[in-house]
Amino acid sequence: MNKKSGFEIALEEESMRIALRRPPLLTCDDLVNPDIDPSRVALEIMQLQHNHKVTDKQLESIRATLRESYESRTKIQQIIAAIESYYAALDRRENGNVAQDNAFARIQNILGMQWK
């Protein structure tokens, strides 16, 4: 068993102090923020993997969570667009019932939910 020198121990302790002071590059809120560049997320994950701070199992879990987050964010953005098009139709004085039916049909399509 290799014993660490006092210098190595002090270096590790100082590295830990620095790491604890540095805020993470990305937070959980950043993952659902549409303004965050997905390449930043990928870079952060690669950094964690490079520094051996995550196992392969944890890495796969992170990737699955990010995929789900991206898919959810995309669906939410599409739903917002459907609602905005409904509001625009009302502003143009189109038939409200038709505009509502169109928006509802788009939202159902986005979510993959159809009445049977």
Predicted confidence band of residue 108 (pLDDT cuts 50, 70, 90): very high
Predicted confidence band of residue 60 (pLDDT cuts 50, 70, 90): confident
The pLDDT tens digits for 85-106 are 999 999 999 999 999 999 999 9
Sign of CA dihedral 103, 107, 109, 110: positive
pLDDT above 90: percentage of residues in the chain: 33
Between 95 and 43, name the one with better pLDDT: 95
The set of residues, in sequence order, having a beta carbon less than 8 Å from that of 11 and lying 6+ positions away, is none
pLDDT confidence of residue 107: 96
What pTM did the predictor assign? Answer: 0.56
pLDDT confidence of residue 106: 96
- 3-state SS class at 90: helix
Ranges of each domain in the chain: 28-111
